[in-house]
Amino acid sequence: MEKKALLVISFGTSYAETRAKTIAATEQCLQKAFPDHDFYRAFTSRMIINKLKKRDNEIVDVPREVLKKLKEAGYTHVRCQTTHIINGHEYEITLKELKAFENNFKSLTLGRPLLTTVEDYEETVDVVMGKMPKLKKGEALVYMGHGTDHQANATYPCLDYMFKMKGYEDVYVGTVEGFPELENIVPLLQDKKYKKIYLAPFMLVAGDHARNDMASDDEASWKTVLEEEQFKVECILEGLGEYPGIQNMFVEHLKKAQPVTEM
């Protein structure tokens, strides 16, 4: 008898409110698309998993722990979908964990991260700009991506270029832990003589980075740095996972999921 499971794999967040609006909302969208599959959740951030366990006594497994339980429970077919944004370290770790179980199920598939194909970039730009304020003269939008030392950091300059290609000349993409950084973007904003800057996270959740590194009154936050440069700043604390269009993109990625044996 076939026994099917759906495993949704996210980086995770310790902020319950944004987790409900983003990760849980995306999970529910994926569940709705595959109602004949039993749902399971996994996070890839060990730091967040440990914090949730210590602070809230909430247990979330890493992918390999869930797959071990699914094998023991007799599941035969497992569909997995990552909610990671880029094909970076977290995604590679996830794929490696799944490959260790490739012979334990009749089928084990994985859907790719949000920004994988050129079409993904185009659709993502359309989705997010449909949710952002219409920029007036003298206004710009700066997205904060996470950034990484992985080669997949090239995603962020590519995304910035895609915004420009689609006519959004006043949209910029920076990162917290990669390139470009805010210091690379500020001169561009000054050259264009913008008066007001919108800041928004280009992350699945509006968690720690969005609240502290982007929108806080800390002297090193993006908001503070831009205000010191005499820009008026408005922060938009919404994660990408809140947008139905992004949730639907993950559904489409899950429908196109490949066997991990072929990845």
- Sign, CA dihedral 248-21-181-183, equals positive
Q: Is 204 helix (H, G, I), strand (E, B) or coil?
A: coil
The owner of tokens 């968690």 is 207
> Is 27 marked as a binding-site residue?
no
Beta-carbon contacts of residue 19 (< 8 Å; ≥ 6 apart): 12, 13, 205
- DSSP summary character for residue 151: G
Q: Is 97 annotated as a binding residue?
A: no
DSSP-assigned letter for residue 9 = E
Using alpha carbons, list the distances in angstroms from residue 103 to 4, 9, 121, 231, 240. Answer: 16, 20, 33, 56, 34
Amino acid at 163: F
Q: Is 89 tagged catalytic?
A: no
In terms of C-beta distances under 8 Å and separation of at least 24 residues, what long-range contacts does 55-61 make, across chains too? 55/14, 60/12
The active-site residue, picked from 37, 84, 89, 146, is 146
Give CA–CA dist 59/66, Å, rounded. 12
122: annotated binding-site residue?
no
Backbone angles phi, psi at 231, to 5 degrees: -90, 145
Residues making up the annotated binding site are 146, 177, 209
Residues making up the annotated binding site for Co(2+) are 146, 177, 209
Catalytic positions, written as ranges: 146
